[in-house]
Amino acid sequence: MYSSEAQSDSELYEEAHVHKVYEQIASHFSSTRYKPWPIVERFLKDLPDGSVGLDVGCGNGKYLAVNPNVFIIASDRSNNLVKIATKHQPHTAIVADNLTLPHPNASFDFAVSIAVIHHLSTPDRRIQAVAAILSILRPSIKGQGGGSQNNGGKTLIYVWALEQEHSRRGWKEGDEQDVMVPWVMKQKPTAESSEESKTFNRYYHLYRQGELEHDIAEAGGLVLESGYEKDNWWAIAIRKPG
Amino acid sequence: MKILTVNFLTCAVKACKTSPLSFPLHFRDAELEQSDIGYNPSFLRNILPRVDWEALKVTATELGFTTVPSEKPNLDPAPSNTDLPAPETAMETSEPDVADEKVMRDLHTLLLETEVREGKMVCGNCGHEYKIKEGIANFLLPSHLGR
């Protein structure tokens, strides 16, 4: 599919421009991330009691507080964020890569991956990330509607949108989709440094309209519902029945 | 990391997932710690149908727990928020059985309150070791295994 050299280049790139950044900004980042987004909240609250699922790229685990009647195995690349996420009972958090998830195939009722896949730096890797999520979901049975309780596991995926003219970033259709986004961390001046803030740049791929649905289809998924909410594209999908 | 988690983990190496040897992962040098988590019988009843009992027995034995019943206890599911019809027996038993209660308490302690603080989990197929440090299991693979 791709040369291992190219693959390892993108791994190194993401290590420097995504993973290392989150590891350093973990606690500041976490203090700004506490309010669940409405569509994610609804998805998690609507799950039947006793459902078992994943939060892939859980960050500080803010979505683990939404529904205590399901069991969520949350994972993130950042050890420092996982440390914060482990405090949400009865759930659990581990350090894992979203391209090599350490879970049995075809086993889970649901998975959410909120603001995560946009950090992967090539189209192939973004599609692989969706495929990795789909592979752990219980398969869908042909002929049954997506809303049925007896149907397969489902996933909710959120990514940052290119079309956000009214946000403070101001990106719009036609703009460059692969961007570096600064995270400014304010700090108290110390004896060693008089600087009052430090800037970290994170890599993002900004999704244009229809791109998330395209990636899900490429990865073998079937989109049940999708939309745009506050500068993000989202989609709910199952494994394509068949 | 709590013991219930282990029931939903396998080797991160793609080729191992199709091998029955990769599940469950096997503990080595595990240091345990008891935490205190609020007892929630309906959570347990609802989650129990999803637990692979044979795998749980392997895990429990490796960690020195001897109280796990040889068969999965047949407990009625808790009243549900879904439209699924409840089994008729659930309607009839309003008082929880004392023996059930003991089994549930033991399972709560094992599955939710027992934490592995330090140690390793090993894949029975490829032998790769995943470390647990300060209660956090790390499944990142060296790049040559991550393809």
Q: Give the pLDDT confidence score for residue A164 in this predicted structure.
A: 92
Q: Give the pLDDT confidence score for residue A6 in this predicted structure.
A: 60
Model confidence band, residue A219 (pLDDT cutoffs 50, 70, 90): very high
Q: Give the pLDDT confidence score for residue A23 in this predicted structure.
A: 85
Q: Give the pLDDT confidence score for residue A8 in this predicted structure.
A: 80
3-class SS at A24? Answer: helix
Please say whether the beta carbons of A87 and B35 come within 8 A: no
Are A94 and B49 a contacting pair at CB < 8 A? no
pLDDT over threshold 60, residue A151: yes
Chain B residues with CB under 8 Å of A93 CB are 136
Q: Give the pLDDT confidence score for residue B128 in this predicted structure.
A: 97
Q: Give the pLDDT confidence score for residue B146 in this predicted structure.
A: 74
Model confidence band, residue A76 (pLDDT cutoffs 50, 70, 90): very high
Model confidence band, residue B78 (pLDDT cutoffs 50, 70, 90): low
- What single letter denotes the amino acid at residue A64? L
Please say whether the beta carbons of A25 and A6 come within 8 A: no
Residues of B with CB under 8 A from a CB of A: 1-2, 4-5, 8-14, 17-18, 23, 37-38, 40, 42-43, 45-47, 49-50, 77-78, 80-84, 112, 130, 134-141, 143, 146-147
How far does CA B140 lie from the centroid of its chain? 21
Chain A residues with CB under 8 Å of B138 CB are 79, 94-96
Please say whether the beta carbons of A213 and A223 come within 8 A: yes
* Lowest model confidence (mean pLDDT) among A113-127, A181-195, B98-112: A181-195
Please say whether the beta carbons of A238 and A221 come within 8 A: yes
Q: Give which of B138, B139, B143, B145 to mutate to test A binding, by max A Cβ within 10 Å.
A: B139
What is the length of chain A? 242
Chain A residues with CB under 8 Å of B81 CB are 48-49, 69
| All structural domains of chain B | 3-80+93-145 (2.20.25.10)
pLDDT over threshold 90, residue B83: no
**DSSP per residue, A39-61:** HHHHHHHTSPTT-EEEEET-TT-
Q: Is any Cβ of chain B less than 8 angstroms from the Cβ of A83?
A: yes
Top pLDDT among B132 and A22 is at: B132
Residue A229's region, left for phi above 0, alpha for psi from -120 to 50, else beta, is beta
Please say whether the beta carbons of A32 and A183 come within 8 A: no
Q: Give the pLDDT confidence score for residue A227 in this predicted structure.
A: 97
- My answer on whether omega of the bond before A123 falls inside 30° of 0, hence cis, is no
* Per-residue pLDDT tens digits for B37-75: 999 999 999 999 999 999 999 999 999 998 899 999 887
pLDDT over threshold 50, residue A148: no
The count of C-alpha atoms lying within 13 angstroms of the C-alpha of A89, restricted to the half-sphere facing its C-beta, is 14
| All structural domains of chain A | 4-161+206-239 (3.40.50.150)
pLDDT over threshold 90, residue A59: yes
Q: Give the pLDDT confidence score for residue A2 in this predicted structure.
A: 44
Q: Give the pLDDT confidence score for residue B90 in this predicted structure.
A: 47
What is the rounded average pLDDT of the residues A111-126? Answer: 96
Portion of chain A with pLDDT greater than 90, in percent: 68
Model confidence band, residue A228 (pLDDT cutoffs 50, 70, 90): very high
| Average pLDDT along chain B | 88
Q: Give the pLDDT confidence score for residue B15 in this predicted structure.
A: 95
- Cα separation, A79 vs A85, in Å, equals 10
